[in-house]
Amino acid sequence: MILMVTLHYPAQMTEKVVETAMAMGTPPEYVKKWLTFGSNSDPKGFKEINIIYVEKGHADEASIELSKMFIPFAQLGNVELTSEVLYSVRDTLEIWKK
């Protein structure tokens, strides 16, 4: 499973967001790779995109554990948090095959 977690927050929240990220802890062992990207071109301020690769067979437990890790960001207030499951192009074609 590939999960994308996006945070949108105003510039004045940057310090709190960074402090919260530093306190997140270590991801579960079934998280294979975690990439974080940022952009300041968002009309809401900053946008942070987390691409998280999870080992096959651990989707359910990863959803729960990663949600727990991101809850502190939602509690900051003024931070929008979204989560999406991403599919490869090959998987997407398989979904739409008739």
Confidence band (pLDDT; 50, 70, 90) for 90?
confident
Confidence band (pLDDT; 50, 70, 90) for 4?
very high
Total H helices, total E strands in the chain? 3, 4
pLDDT at 40: 85
d(CA 36, CA 72): 17
pLDDT digits (tens, 9 = 90+) for 51-71: 999 999 999 999 999 999 999
Domain interval for residue 89: 2-96
Number of domains within the chain: 1
The pTM of the full predicted model, rounded to 2 decimals, is 0.87
Question: The CATH number of the domain where 47 resides is what?
Answer: 3.30.70.100
pLDDT at 56: 92
